[in-house]
Structure 1
Amino acid sequence: MSEPIVAQKAPYKVSVEAGRTYAWCACGRSKKQPFCDGSHKEVGLSPITFKADKDKDVYLCGCKQTGKQPFCDGTHSKI
C-alpha cells in the first residue's frame, strides 16, 4: 500500500448539502480534489465517505495528513 501524497498544503473550502454523501480523496491522486475520482484503486488506499448533517461550509484536508479525516486539523502548517 502506498502513502498518501499531498494534493495541496491548505484545506479545500466546500459547501455541502444536508443528507448528501461525499467521498473525500484520501490518497491525494484524484483529479477532482478534494473528492475521489477512483485513482486510489492503483495504490490501495480508500476514500473516506461522510454524510452532511446540514447545509454548511466545511474545510476538507488537502495535505491528506489530518488526524480528523476528512476534515482539516491544521496539520498542513507542519509539513
Structure 2
Amino acid sequence: MSDPVAAKKGPYVVALKAGDYFYCTCGRSASQPFCDGSHKGTGFTPRKFTIEEDRKAGLCGCRASGNQPFCDGSHKDL
C-alpha cells in the first residue's frame, strides 16, 4: 500500500449533522474530506465515524493526524 495523498495542508472545516460519515483515508477523493470510492485498488478503506449531534468539525486534510478523521495539527510539521 502506498502513502495517502495529502489533499490539503490543513483541516476541512465542515458543518456536520448527526449521523454516519465516511472519511477519505487515501486523499484521492474528489469529495474531500469524504470518501467517493476513489480508493478502489489502493489498499485504503474509508473510515466510518458517527456524529452524535449537529456541530462543526475540522477534518484532517493532510492524512497525518493521529486522531483521524479529526485534525490534530500534524500538518504544521509537514
> How would you bin the TM-score normalised by the shorter chain?
over 0.9
The percent identity for this pair of structures is 51
Q: 2:37 maps to what in 1?
A: 38
TM-score by length of 1: 0.95
- The runs of at least 4 consecutive aligned structure 1 residues that moved more than 2 Å come to none
- How many matched pairs? 78
Q: 2:27 maps to what in 1?
A: 28
Shift of 1:11: 0.2
Considering only aligned residues, what root-mean-square deviation do their CA atoms show, in Å? 0.7
Which amino acid is the alignment partner of residue 28 of structure 1? G
Gaps of 5+ in 2: none
Which amino acid is the alignment partner of residue 39 of structure 1? S
Provide the rounded CA distance (Å) in 1 between the counterparts of 2:41 and 2:75: 25
TM-score by length of 2: 0.96
